[in-house]
Structure 1
Amino acid sequence: MPNYFEWQKIILIDDDSILNLIHKKVLKIIGFHETVLDFNNGFQAIEYIYREIEQSSSTNMDISLIILDLEMPILNGWGFLDRFLILEPQVREKFKIIVSSSSKNPEDIKRALEYEVVSEYIPKPITIDIFGRIIWDGIEKDKDKGSGREEDFRF
């Protein structure tokens, strides 16, 4: 089956395993049947990425979308982002990161979007419409086009 999607792999990083399961089911419903991995904290996820780097060259790595929660035990989203920024640019370009958090604090939103590797901030929960836009249309490259509110993401 050919891959029609921009993403070859989606990585969910959230300590809410029920939400991860729901997100996996929603992704299947909207037609994404590629690899979906989930990790309960940023440490597990960054370790996975480091192992992927060791096992393949950056040119052979899958293009991956990361959906990242901010508040998690062990290594939170902020710590994950800080460790992700250490990676070589040719590795970082294989990933797009969306921060998805229940925080509606404007400072958290601003801080997340200040990371050059974060494409956008989406409040939880991610709806089917938003997942559809992400999967079928790709991510808006220009952060200034949307406000981060759900009404900006309807079809």
Structure 2
Amino acid sequence: MLEQILCVDDDPITLMLCKKVIVKASFSKEIITSQNGEEALQYFNTLKYANTEHPTKKHPQLIFLDLNMPVMGGWEFLDHFNSLEFSEFKNIKVIVLSSTIDPEDIEKSKTYPMVIDFLSKPITSTMLEYLKNKL
């Protein structure tokens, strides 16, 4: 079981479903949510400053990331998250969860070292079992 995961999606129903499936599958002890990439980056910025004061502060081990969101989408988030500014979080794995399975998107996701898979929404317990084995 993971300590903490972050779900980034603009749809509150998707986030609720994500939480329910993750809790039911005992996949993670704690689930944090953000409604877009910018909100997720702000969360990591607060962690960076918290870690200077409290080095033991935990951070997510896994991110479930939607691609199409207002304000800041998944690709923009990945571009920022892959930069030196967020290098202390480079061990966090990302699963792209998208409602579109465009082959170009799948190929593009492979260019980001932290993305370990590209899966179709909605999240299911079968998917989480698959990920438990992969992680």
Partner of 1:8: 3
**Number of matched pairs:** 132
Q: Is contact 2:64-2:97 (8 Å) kept?
A: yes
Matched, 1:130 2:127: yes
Quick one: which amino acid aligns to residue 53 of structure 1? K
Q: Which structure 2 segments of 5+ residues have no match? A: none
With normalisation by structure 1, the TM-score equals: 0.78
CA–CA distance in 2 between the matches of 1:83 and 1:25? 29
Q: Which structure 1 segments of 5+ residues have no match? A: 140-155
Q: Which has the higher contact order (CA 8 A, sep 6+)?
A: 2
Partner of 1:27: 22
Question: Higher strand proportion, which one?
Answer: 2
Trace 1:96-135 onto structure 2 (pairs within 5 A): 96-134=93-131
Please, which of 42, 46, 71 is the counterpart of residue 41 of structure 2?
46
Partner of 2:89: 91
Where 2:110 maps in the other structure, the secondary structure is: helix
CA–CA distance in 2 between the matches of 1:59 and 1:137? 29
User: Aligned-pair RMSD on alpha carbons?
Assistant: 1.8
Partner of 2:32: 37
Q: Is contact 2:80-2:86 (8 Å) kept?
A: no
Query: Which of structure 1's runs of 4+ aligned residues deviate more than 4 A?
Result: none
Deviation string 1:105-139 (CA, Å, 9 cap, x unpaired) is 100110011111111111111221111232x3343
